[in-house]
């Protein structure tokens, strides 16, 4: 029963659901609405089913609801409307039900409460609630847009990291297999040729060229391993970390210790790569910034999680200041660690203070059925 009332030229349209069992009270409400400058278009409902049908049938500005009805109640209507549209203004218009009940209704989410005998506030209450509903809806839209943007960014970031790893793997193999093999052939042939050259000066020159080919070969192999050590794909995280430690251990650098239980579980591709890259970045940071005398890289199983710890005894740093610099785009290492771990479903924590060294901890969920260390 939808009614369109006569609309004075100056009045504003208002689409209202009226939850009310008494026709006289509906008439009372409509009079008050018109007096307040509204041209109401309304639907009267008396049960949950009727309210449900009305909510789905059209777009509404406000719900005006009695508190007590024979087969329904204001509170039930309130929950139903809130579940349908949490931003819809809901005003209770009732006989005198007492202050405590009114307070309970407001606590349950009603936006205002008016007594049927005194509807002078009705226009102002509706105007205010329409305004506030507009603000709430705009905020919700902004939150949704923000959430979607964040999800898109996350997907993009995930994709970029996947592509970066795939590309590194490809270039590393290409360097090692194709260019590396060609350089090996050049070097070996040059060495064989050198042995046959009679002229001493020319032989010296050829030996020198073979030497340079050997150096380039070493550089290409190192570059290939730095891009992505094949251990990570073939033998697993521990072997890759052992290579990393060996690669960075120097007589004039800090002592690097790697501690891991004998039977490490395989974490699965993404988490294992993330774990390796975190260790790599953390160790690079120690060597570049910490001035440490020792570093300890530890893998362990804790509370059903797989954790990587990197401790150093270096000079430490101010985390808040580093984060602020990262926001300006000055450095990417710590940001990249966070991103990788989050995308692999893990958590990362950094603790550092000037003079006390740094602790990086990244934990990943163990895949179901993974053998535990």
Ligand X SMILES: Nc1ncnc2c1ncn2[C@@H]1O[C@H](COP(=O)(O)OP(=O)(O)OP(=O)(O)O)[C@@H](O)[C@H]1O
- Residues interacting with ligand X, by CB under 6 A? 285-286, 288-290, 312, 314-317, 322, 326, 331-334, 358
Provide the phi-psi class of 318: left if phi over 0, else alpha when psi is between -120 and 50, else beta: beta
254 contact, one of Mg ion, ligand X, none, CB 5-8 Å limit per kind:
none
CA distances from 35 to 124, 248, 253, 351 (A): 11, 83, 85, 65
Helix axes 237-248, 200-227, angle to 10 degrees: 130
Q: How far is the CB of 63 from ligand X (least distance, A)?
A: 53
Q: How far is the CB of 280 from Mg ion (least distance, A)?
A: 10
Choice between 40 and 316, CB closer to ligand X: 316
312 contact, one of ligand X, Mg ion, none, CB 5-8 Å limit per kind:
ligand X
Q: How far is the CB of 161 from ligand X (least distance, A)?
A: 15
Sequence-distant (≥ 6) Cβ neighbours of residue 361 within 8 angstroms: 307, 308, 309, 310, 348, 349, 350, 351
The answer to whether 258 and 300 have CB atoms below 8 angstroms apart is no
Choice between 219 and 284, CB closer to ligand X: 284
Read off the DSSP letter of residue 147: H
Dmax over CA atoms of the chain, in Å, equals: 122
Choice between 68 and 284, CB closer to ligand X: 284
Q: How far is the CB of 227 from ligand X (least distance, A)?
A: 16
Q: How far is the CB of 320 from ligand X (least distance, A)?
A: 11
Choice between 240 and 334, CB closer to ligand X: 334
Choice between 128 and 323, CB closer to ligand X: 323
326 contact, one of Mg ion, ligand X, none, CB 5-8 Å limit per kind:
ligand X
358 contact, one of Mg ion, ligand X, none, CB 5-8 Å limit per kind:
ligand X
322 contact, one of Mg ion, ligand X, none, CB 5-8 Å limit per kind:
ligand X
Sequence-distant (≥ 6) Cβ neighbours of residue 100 within 8 angstroms: none
What is the distance between the alpha carbons of residues 198 and 209, in angstroms, rounded to a whole number? Answer: 17
Residue with tokens 């690079």: 284
243 contact, one of ligand X, Mg ion, none, CB 5-8 Å limit per kind:
none
Choice between 125 and 275, CB closer to ligand X: 275
Choice between 43 and 358, CB closer to Mg ion: 358
Of 90-98, 141-149, 204-212, 328-336, which segment contacts Mg ion by CB under 5 A? 328-336
Choice between 49 and 257, CB closer to ligand X: 257
Footprint on residues 275-294 left by Mg ion (CB under 5 A): 285
Closest chain position to Mg ion (CB) = 333
Q: How far is the CB of 326 from ligand X (least distance, A)?
A: 6
Decide if residue 333 touches Mg ion (CB under 5 A). yes
Residue whose C-alpha is closest to residue 279's, from 262, 296, 301: 296
Residue whose C-alpha is closest to residue 63's, from 40, 89, 27, 26: 89
Indicate if the alpha-carbon torsion angle 11, 12, 15, 19 is positive or negative. negative
Decide if residue 230 touches Mg ion (CB under 5 A). no
Q: How far is the CB of 279 from ligand X (least distance, A)?
A: 12
The answer to whether 119 and 93 have CB atoms below 8 angstroms apart is yes
Closest chain position to ligand X (CB) = 333
Choice between 73 and 294, CB closer to ligand X: 294
Q: How far is the CB of 319 from ligand X (least distance, A)?
A: 8
The answer to whether 26 and 44 have CB atoms below 8 angstroms apart is yes
What does DSSP say about strands 68-69 and 62-65: parallel, antiparallel, or unpaired? unpaired
What is the distance between the alpha carbons of residues 340 and 346, in angstroms, rounded to a whole number? Answer: 9
Q: How far is the CB of 274 from Mg ion (least distance, A)?
A: 16
What is the distance between the alpha carbons of residues 41 and 60, in angstroms, rounded to a whole number? Answer: 9
Contacting residues toward Mg ion, per CB under 5 A: 285, 333
């Amino acid at each position: 029963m939808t009614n369109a009332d006569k609309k004075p030229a100056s009045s504003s349209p208002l689409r209202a659901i009226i939850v009310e069992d008494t026709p006289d009270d509906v008439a009372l409400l409509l009079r008050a609405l018109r007096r307040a400058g509204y041209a109401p278009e309304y639907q009267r409902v008396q049960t949950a089913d009727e309210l449900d049908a009305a909510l789905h049938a059209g777009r509404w500005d406000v719900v005006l609801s009695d508190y007590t009805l024979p087969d329904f109640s204001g509170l039930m209507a309130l929950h139903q409307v809130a579940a349908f549209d949490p931003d819809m203004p809901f005003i209770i218009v009732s006989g005198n039900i007492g202050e405590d009940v009114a307070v309970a209704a407001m606590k349950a989410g009603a936006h205002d409460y008016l007594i049927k005998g005194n509807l002078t506030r009705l226009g102002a209450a509706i105007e205010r609630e329409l305004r506030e509903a507009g603000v709430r809806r705009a905020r919700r839209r902004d939150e949704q847009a923000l959430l979607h943007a964040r999800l898109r960014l996350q997907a993009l970031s995930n994709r970029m990291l996947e592509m970066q790893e795939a590309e590194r793997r490809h270039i590393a193999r290409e360097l090692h297999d194709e260019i590396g093999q060609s350089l090996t052939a050049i070097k070996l042939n040059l060495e064989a040729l050198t042995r046959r050259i009679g002229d001493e000066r020319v032989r010296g020159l050829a030996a020198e060229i073979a030497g340079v080919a050997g150096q380039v070969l070493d550089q290409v192999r190192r570059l290939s391993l730095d891009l992505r050590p094949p251990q990570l794909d073939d033998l697993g995280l521990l072997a890759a970390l052992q290579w990393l430690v060996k690669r960075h251990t120097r007589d004039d650098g800090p002592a690097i210790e790697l501690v891991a239980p004998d039977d490490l579980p395989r974490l699965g591709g993404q988490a294992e790569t993330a774990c390796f890259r975190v260790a790599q970045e953390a160790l690079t940071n120690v060597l570049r910034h910490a001035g440490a005398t020792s570093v300890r890289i530890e893998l362990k199983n804790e509370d059903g999680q797989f954790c990587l710890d990197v401790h150093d005894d270096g000079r430490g740093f101010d985390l808040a200041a580093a984060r602020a610099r990262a926001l300006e785009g000055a450095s990417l290492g710590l940001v990249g660690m966070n991103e990788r771990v989050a995308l692999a479903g893990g958590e990362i924590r950094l603790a550092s203070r000037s003079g006390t060294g740094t602790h990086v901890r990244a934990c990943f969920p163990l895949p179901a059925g993974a053998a535990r260390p």
